[in-house]
Amino acid sequence: MEKIPYSKQSINSTDIDAVTDAIQQDFITQGPTITHFESAFAAYVGSRYAVAVSSGTSALVIAHRAAGIQAGDRVLTTANTFVATANSIELAGGIAQLVDIDPKTYNISVTELEKALLAPKRIKGISPVHFAGVPANMEAIAALADKHKLYVIEDACHALGSTWADSEGGLHRVGDCSHSDMSIFSFHPVKQITTGEGGMITTNDPELHAKLLAFRSHGISQPIDKRKKEEQPWTYEMHDLSANHRITDIQCALGLSQLKQADNWMKRRSELVERYNLAFRDEDNLDSQICPKSATPSYHLYVVQAEGRDELYHHLHGLNIKVQVHYIPVHFHPYYQRKGYQQGDFPDCETYYDHALSLPLYPTLTNKQQDFVIEKIREFYHGR
C-alpha cells in the first residue's frame, strides 16, 4: 500500500525554477530576494514589517528578546504546543509558564490565563498559539495584556492565511499584529508553505523591527552617528549579544514562489477538512476541533479526538497511513518536569492528548486517498 503521510510539502516546477535562478545570483544569502519575500509576506498578512529568519524557533527566540524579556520574567503559553513555543521563552532567559487549554478549540484557555494573572508573579508576556490554524481568542488576550501591561507574541506557525472577525465585525488576518506586538511563522515542510527550514516575524512597530534585524545577525547594526559611517565606511556596531539567525536568498526565492500558491493550497486544505467533517458527522467515536464562528481558519492540521486512539494509531500505521499525535503536553517532557511540572497539572490538555490524532491533510492528498483513510477509520470502529 502506498504511504500516506499526515503532512507533506508541495513543490512544483515554478518553485524549482525560482530556486535554480536564485542559486546563480551574486548574493546567495543576505541579497535582494530576502527583502522581496519579506515585503510580499507583510503585504499578504497585512503587517507593516516582516523579518525572515532561519527557522520558526529562531523567530520566536529573537522576538522574545526584542520584546525585552529579562532573566526570570515569565511568559504565559499553552501546554498544547510544539516544545519550541515554550523553549524559546526559556532560551531567551525567561520562564515558560504553561496554561491549560479550552477543551473545544484546543487553544489556550482565557479563563485559565485570567487565573494565572491573579498570582503575584513577574509575568511579562503572553504567547498564544493558533492551534492547527484555528485562531486563539486574540481580543480577550489583547485585553488582558493591556490590563496587565504585557507583551503579546502570537505563535502563528500553524495559521498562515487564517482570518477572524472582532466583536465589531472588523476583519483580521493572523499576522497583521492588530492585537499583538509580533507574530511568528514557520516554513518547515509540514507547514502551509515551506523554505526547507525558515521562519518569519511580523510587526507594526518600527523599533521592534530594527531590533529584530539586529538580532537576526549577531546583534549588529549600522552606527547611529552618520558622520562616522562617512569617515569609516567599513564600520558597524554590535549593541546586543545575538547569533546567526539568517535565512538564505535561495530559501527566500522558494518562499516567495510558495507564497503565491498559498491561497490555492489553503482552499484545497479547507475542502479536505469539510470532507472529513461530513464523513465523521455521525461518527460517535470521533470529535473534531471546534472553530469559533467568527473565524475562517487556514488548516495546518486536521485533529480529532478519537476513542481508542492508541489502537487506531497502530491500526492506521499498519495500513501505511502515517497519522500523528499533536502534541505531547509540554509539561510531560523531562526538562519541564525538572522545572516542577507534573502529570495532572493541566487536566483538559491531558484529556485532549489521550485522544488526539492528526489525520492526513495536505494539498496534494487526493479525494480517493482521503476516502481510503475515512473507510479504514470506519472499518476500525464498525468492521466491514
Ligand X SMILES: *Cc1c(COP(=O)(O)O)cnc(C)c1O
**Interacting residue with ligand X among 7, 78, 80, 186 (CB under 6 A):** 186
The reply to whether 56 sits near ligand X by the rule CB under 6 A is: yes
Cβ 72 to ligand X shortest distance, Å:
23
Q: What is the three-class DSSP state of 86?
A: helix
Output 181 or 285, the one with its CB closest to ligand X: 181
Task: Provide the mask over 196-235, with x wherever binding to ligand X is found by CB under 6 A and - wherever it is not.
Answer: ---x------------------------------------
19 binds ligand X (CB under 6 A): no
Is position 55 an interface residue for ligand X (rule: CB under 6 A)? yes
Site string for ligand X, 110-149 (x = CB under 6 A): -------------------x--------------------
| H-type alpha helices, 81-205 | 83-91, 110-118, 138-148
199: enclosing H helix or E strand: strand 199-203
- Contact between 8 and ligand X per CB under 6 A: no
Helix ranges, 5-128 (H) = 13-22, 32-45, 56-66, 83-91, 110-118
Tell me how far, at minimum, the Cβ of 91 lies from ligand X, in Å: 12
Residues facing residue 220 across a β-bridge: 238
- Interaction of residue 370 with ligand X, rule CB under 6 A: no
Q: Which one of 10-18, 27-35, 51-59, 167-175 is the stretch in contact with ligand X (CB under 6 A)?
A: 51-59
Q: What number of CA atoms fall less than 13 Å from residue 22's CA on the CB side? A: 26
CB 258 within 8 A of CB 265: no
CB 360 within 8 A of CB 323: yes
Residue 327: asked if its preceding bond is cis (omega within 30°), the reply is yes
In the complex with ligand X, which residue's Cβ is closer, 133 or 363?
A: 133
Query: Using an 8 Å Cβ cutoff, are 135 and 159 in contact?
Result: yes
Of 57, 162, 251, 258, the residue at the interface with ligand X (CB under 6 A) is: 57
| Nearer to ligand X (CB atom), residue 94 or residue 280 | 94
Query: Measured between alpha carbons, how far is 331 from 97 in angstroms, rounded to an integer?
Result: 10
Q: How far is it, in rounded angstroms, from Cα 305 to Cα 251?
A: 36
Nearer to ligand X, 113 or 129 (CB): 129
Phi, psi of 252 (to 5 degrees): -70, -30
Q: Which stretch binds ligand X (CB under 6 A): 22-30, 44-52, 54-62, 354-362?
A: 54-62
CB nearer ligand X, residue 56 or residue 255: 56
For residue 248, the Cα-to-chain-centroid distance in whole angstroms is 21
Q: Using CB under 6 A as the criterion, which residues of the chain lie in contact with ligand X when the complex forms?
A: 55-57, 81-82, 84-85, 129, 155, 157-158, 186, 188, 199
